[in-house]
Amino acid sequence: MRRRLFTEEHEQFREQFRRFAQKEIEPKVAEWNARGTSDKETWRRAGAAGFLGASAPVEYGGAGGDFLYDGIIMEEMAWIRAHAMMISLHSDIVMPYLITYGSDEQKRKYLPGTISGDILLGIAMTEPGTGSDLANVQTRAIRTGDHYVINGSKTFISNGQIGDLFIVVAKTDPDANPPHKGISLILVEAETPGFVRGRKLDKLGLRGQDTSELAFEDCVVPAANLLGKEGQGFKMLMEKLQQERLCIAVASIVSCRRALQDTVGYVQQRHAFGQPIAAFQNTQFKLAELATEVELGQAFVDTLMVAHVAGEEIVKEVSMAKWWTTELQKRLTSECLQLHGGYGFMMEYPIATDYADAAVQSIYAGTNEIMKVIIARRMGLG
Q: Please report how close the Cβ of residue 219 comes to ligand FAD at its closest, in angstroms.
A: 17
- Of the pair 75, 210, the CB lying nearest ligand FAD is at 210
Identified catalytic residue from 75, 127, 230, 244 = 244
Q: Is-catalytic flag, 244?
A: yes
Nearest position to ligand FAD, beta carbon: 131
**CB–CB of 93/243 below 8 Å?**
yes
Contact present, 154 and 214 (Cβ < 8 Å): yes
Q: Is 248 among the residues that bind ligand FAD (CB under 6 A)?
A: no
Q: What kind and span of H or E run contains 152?
A: strand 147-158
Please state, in angstroms and rounded to a whole number, the distance separating the CA atoms of residues 51 and 261: 27
Judged by CB under 6 A, which stretch of 59-67, 77-85, 126-134, 271-279 contacts ligand FAD?
126-134
| Smallest distance from ligand FAD to CB 211, Å | 5
Note whether 119 and 91 are within 8 A (CB). Answer: no
Contacts for 281 with CB less than 8 Å, ≥ 6 apart: none
Q: Give the residue among 13, 89, 372 at the shortest CA–CA distance from 243.
A: 89
Residue 131 found at the interface with ligand FAD (CB under 6 A): yes
> Backbone phi, then psi, for 220, in 5-degree steps?
-100, 120
- Pick the stretch among 62-70, 106-114, 116-124, 182-190 that binds ligand FAD (CB under 6 A): 116-124
CB of 97 to ligand FAD, least distance (A): 12
Nearer to ligand FAD, 115 or 123 (CB): 123
Q: Which of 55, 126, 139, 319 binds ligand FAD (CB under 6 A)?
A: 126
Instruction: Assess 158 for contact with ligand FAD (CB under 6 A).
Output: yes
Determine the Cα–Cα distance for residues 349 and 334; give it in Å rounded to an integer. 13
Question: Residue 356 or residue 363: which is nearer to ligand FAD going by CB?
Answer: 363
Query: Helices in the chain by DSSP H: which ranges?
Result: 8-20, 29-35, 40-48, 67-79, 87, 95-101, 104-116, 233-269, 281-309, 315-339, 350-358, 368-378
| CA–CA separation, 250 and 240 (whole Å) | 16
Min CB(18)–ligand FAD separation in Å: 26
**Looking at 99-107, 227-235, 336-344, 359-367, which segment touches ligand FAD (CB under 6 A)?**
359-367
The stretch among 15-23, 58-66, 264-272, 360-368 that binds ligand FAD (CB under 6 A) is 360-368
Catalytic positions: 244
Contacts with ligand FAD by CB under 6 A lie at: 122-126, 131-132, 156-158, 203, 206, 211, 360, 363-364, 366-367, 369-370, 373
